[in-house]
Amino acid sequence: MARVQLHDVCKRFGHVTAVESANLSIGDGEFFALLGPSGCGKTTTLRLIAGLETPTSGRIVIGERDVTDLPPRDRDVSMVFQDYALYPHMTILDNVGYPLKVRGVPRPEIQSRVGAVAESLRINHLLDRRPAQLSGGQQQRAAVARCVVHSPQVFLFDEPLSNLDAKLRLEARGFLKHLQKEVGITAVYVTHDQAEAMALADRMAVMSEGRIIQVGSPLAVYRRPETTFVASFIGNPPMNLIPCRLALADGSAALSTPSFGLDITPLRPRLAASLHNGDTVTLGIRPEHMTLCAESMPCTMPGQVYAIQPLGSEVLVLVQVDDTTIAVRLFTDDPPLQAQHVHVGLTMERVMLYDSAGRLAVT
Partner 1 sequence: MTRESLVLSRRTGFLFLLPALFFVGVFIIFPFVWVFWLSFTNQTLTGVTAVEPQFVGLANYLRLFNLESWMDRGEFGNALVISAQFVFGSALIGQVGLGLLIAWAFHNRKGAVRETVYTLIILAWIVPDVVVAFTWMAFLDRDAGTLNAVLGLLNLPRVDWLIEHPVLSIILYNTWRGTAFSMLLFSSALASIPPSYMETAEVAGASAWQKFKDIVFPLIRNHVLTDVILITLWTFNTFTPFLITGGGPAYKSELVSIHTFRIAFQYFEFGRGGAIAVTMMLVNLVLALIYLSVLRRQEVRR
Partner 2 sequence: MNQPARQSRPSLSHWIRFFLSRGAFALLVSLISAFFALPMLWLLLTPFNARGTLAVEIPAQPTLANFQRVFANAFAMHALVNSAILGLGGMLLVTLVATLAAYSLARTDVPGRDLFVYGLILFSSVVTGTAAMVPIFMMIFYLGLIDTHLAVILVCTGGLLPTATFIMRDFIEGLPRSYEESALVSGATPWQMFRDVVLPLVRPGMMVVAIWAFVNVWGTFLIPFILLRSPQNMPATVAIYSFYTEAGTPIITLTSAYSLLFGLPVLFLYLFVNWRYGFRFFGGIKR
Which residue's CB is nearer to partner 2, number 66 or number 87? Answer: 87
Min dist CB 54 to partner 1, Å, is 5
CA distance 268 to 248: 9
Q: Which is nearer to partner 2, 143 or 301 (CB)?
A: 143
Could you say whether residue 110 binds partner 2 (CB under 8 A)? no
- Among the listed residues 5, 20, 25, 52, the single contact to partner 2 using CB under 8 A: 52
* Cβ contact 173:200 at 8 Å: yes
Give, in degrees to the nearest 5, the angle at Cα 76 between 70 and 79.
100
54, interface contact from partner 1, partner 2, none, CB < 5-8 Å by kind: partner 1
Q: Which residue's CB is nearer to partner 2, number 74 or number 171?
A: 74
Specify whether the CB–CB gap between 49 and 6 falls below 8 A: yes
Given 29, 58, 63, 72, the residue binding partner 2 (CB under 8 A)? 72
CA gap 336, 3 in Å, rounded: 52
Using the minimum distance from each CB to partner 2, give the nearer residue, 32 or 157. Answer: 157
Q: Which of 54, 69, 73, 280 binds partner 2 (CB under 8 A)?
A: 73
Cis peptide, bond prior to residue 237, ω within 30 of zero = yes
Inter-CA distances, 245 with 14, 203, 242, 255, 261, Å: 42, 34, 10, 6, 9
Residue 75: partners with Cβ closer than 8 Å, 6 or more residues away: 50, 51, 62, 67, 153
By C-beta, is 152 or 345 nearer to partner 2? 152
User: Quick check: 339 binds partner 2 (CB under 8 A)?
Assistant: no
CA distance 42 to 331: 36
Cα–Cα distance, 58 to 67 (Å, whole number): 11
Cβ atoms of residues 82 and 159 within 8 Å: yes
Among 5, 82, 111, 227, binds partner 2 (CB under 8 A): 82
Instruction: Give the nearest distance from C-beta 75 to partner 2 in angstroms.
Output: 8
Q: What residues form DSSP beta bridges with 16?
A: 13
Report how many residues bind partner 2 under the rule CB under 8 A: 23
One of 57, 102, 217, 296 touching partner 2 (CB under 8 A) = 102
CB nearer to partner 1: pick between 72 and 115: 72
Q: If you write DSSP's letter for every residue of 208-235 in order, what string do you get? A: ETTEEEEEE-HHHHHHS-SBHHHHHHST
- Is 162 a binder of partner 2 (CB under 8 A)? no
- 79 lies in the binding site for partner 2 (CB under 8 A): yes
CB closer to partner 2, 32 vs 98? 98
CB of 222 to partner 2, least distance (A): 32
| Interface contacts to partner 2, rule CB under 8 A | 50-52, 71-73, 77-79, 81-83, 85, 87-89, 98-99, 102-103, 146, 150, 156
